Amino acid sequence: MTSPVSYKIVDEIGVITVDNPPVNALSQAVRQGLQDAIRTAQSDASKAVLIHCVGRTFFAGADITEFGKPAVEPFLPELLNEIEDSTKLVVAALHGTALGGGFETALASHYRIALDSAKVGLPEVKLGLLPGAGGTQRLPRLAGIPASLEMILTGTPITAGRASELGLVDRIVSSDLRKAAIEYTRELVDSGALVRRTSELTAATVDDSVFDEIRSGLAKRARGQTVSSRIVDCVKAASELAFTDGLKLERELFVESMRDPQSTALQHMFFAEREAAKVLGVSRETAHRDIQKVGIIGGGTMGGGIAMSFANAGYAVTLIEINDDALDRGLAIVEKNYAGSVKRGKLSEAAANKCRDLIIGSTEYAALADVDIVIEAVFEDVELKKDIFARLDKVCKPGAILATNTSYQDVNAIAAVTARPEDVIGMHFFSPAHIMKLLEVVRADKTADDVLGTVMSLAKRIRKVAVVSGVCYGFIGNRMLAGYFREAQLCLIEGGLPESIDAAMYDWGMAMGPISVADLAGLDVGYKARQGLSEEERGDPRSYRIPDALVAEGRLGQKSGAGFYTYDPMTRKKTSDPAVLEVIEREARDLGVERGAIEADEIIDRLIYALVNEGLRILDEGIAQRPGDIDVVYVYGYGFPAWRGGPMHYADAVGLDTVLARINEFRGRFGADNWTPAPLLEKLVAENTTIVDWAKRSVG
Ligand code: 3H9
């Protein structure tokens, strides 16, 4: 096998070139090649060494696919020490994204030159890890403690410009990096520049209060995450211990993090997110339709947010509303959102203006004649949606993609009203659509492969994480959510309080408790939906009587200032309301429910196992392509803690036999209507296997 690393002396510079697509991960072969080259350079005719990568980026980090397997020499930390110990000066030339072990390689080099478009960072925290190849010790020696803590705790890459301000990059160039880097190295040699070892620097000490403050903030900024305090320990050590002792601590805590189930979960999420982009049965080579112009029908919160997502990515958007008033209202919401982004420093005034200018409004469907894709985002009324699609069929040009943003409705039925069902697809955005990362892409029976492929790549362009779902009521996310909300309401009527249920789930790691989510979404939404249903269709009255009673009292949730909680009109801060407890107790009495204490553990198991059980049905039916897709939906769309890896990964981690035993216990206590184990769960337990192994066998 040819090595991904080559070495050649150019103009007296020993140039190490790495070519390991797609992202130049520091695989064993790369590490070996680097070690061989750096050793050769010590005794050959070269005067200095340059490390650079071809392709889209400098090393994007250690090779994550090697994690969990036995480590093979040379190990990265030792290799980087060897690079730093080089007697000839070593220059790293950075482009693309120099991340993790990649950026650590740069920090171990003696000088750094970067393309102005490059970004550098230590994103290990996103994998539940800390930089484990000297990053926690070298970065503080160059950039100081506060900036290092910020970079390592957030994992957010910084620009080459910022890196230069922090002393992490010595020279920035705007083109032809390889040539510029050879010239720079030559210049260093000619000027007699010395080998400059980061490990020999001293990190400026800071007052202990800096660390105390960071630690006390971790509970909020890194809630539930174990690796953050280890990161603080390492960075603190950089200013207190000798370099080698600091490295020893870093190694110890890196290994501890690697063994932590949180890291396993986050690594699973990393690959699940990338897997989700691949559509089974649709080759990556399938030609995509060209998308330049986008039409959106409905200028409400959802339509406006979707318009912003596209405009932010540079697409021209035509927003259609029913009349001038509605259109003005829609455009005003967009305007307000952009003003908010400017105020919060997320966008410059100029960038916001540029995006805003890309969105034009119209009340005429004829304005959609030349759009390449149109997304319908009106309220959830299937007949209205069918009407709209029949009109779109008439006005849109041949080959235009017709998408619906429905959260529940049958996309096949909507497609059937057109003469081109192959062009119809679901694009289920999550609110607020310009912020939430998830996009459920609903593949209807007749959706053409190139339509699906186009929408998946379009999703990436508008910075969404897309997951394919088959057609069913509620698709992947909302279908699973029904059981989760049902159990939250049942726990409430059986003895819980809004606060205790929210606290149980929030403390477990959910972004928001389910009762607060209901208030945010609006209690009237479910109420209205139930009005059209028969008693039988509404299901167990214990699961909706309390919210319906609150709606009857005008408590519609956050929007009316009161729901399960009462909200301050200015700050939206919520407080408990004794009147709600009275409603709960009254409804429980009416329904003959005897209220009693419910432990947090039970609340968690009932809500999460309801998700897991339905998720397994969804998998079994082929609605989700793979378990990781369900995990991506929950982490990116429903505030499930990424460090627990999503409901499917979590179930495997707990053990499917434990999950099944608990569900069977619930069936015994609460009845089979809500608690019949998914057949796939029983099958996997009987076969003594895991969801992930089953998926490997059945999906490949
Ligand atoms: C580390 O460095 C630990 C050290 O401190 C200590 C060690 C002792 N390894 O994201 P994309 C694959 S921890 C293996 O779609 P983009 C990815 O799976 C690491 N594979 O592209 C995908 O494969 P496929 C710290 C990797 O342009 C393909 O590359 N580094 C790795 O949207 C394309 O990826 C990180 O955490 C990897 N390190 O974004 C950086 N990275 O095509 C992680 C990517 O088969 N990577 N792949 O699905 C990223 O953030 C993004 O991939 C990057 C490119 C920004 C680089």
Read off the pLDDT of residues 381-399 as tens digits, 9 standing for 90 and up: 899 999 999 999 999 999 9
- Amino acid 526: pLDDT: 86
Q: Identify the active-site residue in 84, 104, 487, 587.
A: 104
Q: Ligand 1, atom 27: nearest CA belongs to which residue?
A: 23
* Mean pLDDT of all residues in 137-164: 98
Task: Return the CA Rg of the chain.
Answer: 28
Of 219-233, 243-257, 342-356, 535-549, where does the model show the most confidence? 243-257
Nearest ligand 1 atom to the CA of 76 is 8
Contact 174, 116 (CB under 8 A): yes
Alpha carbon 343 to its chain's center: 24
> Is 65 a pocket residue for ligand 1 (Cβ < 6 Å)?
yes
Cα of 126 from ligand 1 centre, angstroms: 11
Q: Tokens 């100029």, residue? A: 350
* Angular region, 206: left φ>0, alpha ψ -120 to 50, beta rest: beta
* 638: three-class secondary structure by DSSP: coil
Whole-structure pTM value: 0.95
- Amino acid 359: pLDDT: 97
Residue 339 scores a pLDDT above 70: yes
From the list 612, 609, 639, the residue with the least C-alpha distance to 506 is 639
Annotation says 104 is catalytic:
yes
**Cα atoms found within 13 Å of the Cα of residue 632, Cβ hemisphere only:** 28
Contact 294, 373 (CB under 8 A): yes
* Angle value at C-alpha 500, between 223 and 507, nearest 5 degrees: 15
* Mean pLDDT of all residues in 493-500: 96
> Is 118 a pocket residue for ligand 1 (Cβ < 6 Å)?
no
Cα of 655 from ligand 1 centre, angstroms: 29
> Is 376 a pocket residue for ligand 1 (Cβ < 6 Å)?
no
Dihedral Cα 448, 452, 458, 464, nearest 10 deg: 160
- Amino acid 373: pLDDT: 98
Span 50-65, pLDDT tens digits: 999 999 999 999 999 9
C-alpha–C-alpha distance, residues 455 and 467, integer Å: 11
- Amino acid 136: pLDDT: 98
* Mean pLDDT of all residues in 265-273: 97
* Mean pLDDT of all residues in 43-49: 97
Q: Ligand 1, atom 47: nearest CA belongs to which residue?
A: 23
Q: State percent of the chain over pLDDT 90.
A: 92
Concatenate the DSSP letters of all residues of 376-424 into one string: E---S-HHHHHHHHHHHHHHSPTT-EEEE--SSS-HHHHHHTSS-GGGE
Q: Tokens 């930390």, residue? A: 77
How do 438-442 and 465-469 pair as beta strands? parallel
Q: Ligand 1, atom 54: nearest CA belongs to which residue?
A: 23
**Residue 442 confidence class, pLDDT cut points 50, 70, 90:** very high
Q: Which of 9-23, 27-41, 339-353, 433-447 has the lowest mean pLDDT?
A: 339-353
CA-based torsion, 66, 70, 74, 75: positive or negative: positive
C-alpha–C-alpha distance, residues 654 and 646, integer Å: 12
- Amino acid 379: pLDDT: 87
> Is 8 a pocket residue for ligand 1 (Cβ < 6 Å)?
no
Cα of 137 from ligand 1 centre, angstroms: 23
Alpha carbon 547 to its chain's center: 31
C-alpha–C-alpha distance, residues 108 and 111, integer Å: 9
Residue 699 scores a pLDDT above 80: no
Q: Ligand 1, atom 10: nearest CA belongs to which residue?
A: 274
Q: Which helix (H) or strand (E) holds 180?
A: helix 177-190
> Is 452 a pocket residue for ligand 1 (Cβ < 6 Å)?
no
Span 397-419, pLDDT tens digits: 999 999 999 998 999 999 999 99
* 684: three-class secondary structure by DSSP: helix
Mutate to test the pocket of ligand 1, among 58, 64, 263 (most ligand atoms within 8 A of CB): 64
Cα of 60 from ligand 1 centre, angstroms: 6
Span 535-569, pLDDT tens digits: 888 888 999 999 999 999 999 999 999 999 999 99
Cα of 553 from ligand 1 centre, angstroms: 52
* Tokens of residue 366, six digits: 């004829």
From the list 126, 118, 224, 241, the residue with the least C-alpha distance to 180 is 118
> Is 107 a pocket residue for ligand 1 (Cβ < 6 Å)?
no
- Amino acid 539: pLDDT: 85
Residue 700 scores a pLDDT above 70: no
> Is 80 a pocket residue for ligand 1 (Cβ < 6 Å)?
no
Q: Share the mean pLDDT of the chain.
A: 96
Annotation says 487 is catalytic:
no
C-alpha–C-alpha distance, residues 380 and 416, integer Å: 17
> Is 99 a pocket residue for ligand 1 (Cβ < 6 Å)?
yes
Residue 137 scores a pLDDT above 70: yes
* Angle value at C-alpha 666, between 661 and 669, nearest 5 degrees: 130
> Is 133 a pocket residue for ligand 1 (Cβ < 6 Å)?
yes
- Amino acid 591: pLDDT: 95
* Mean pLDDT of all residues in 104-122: 98
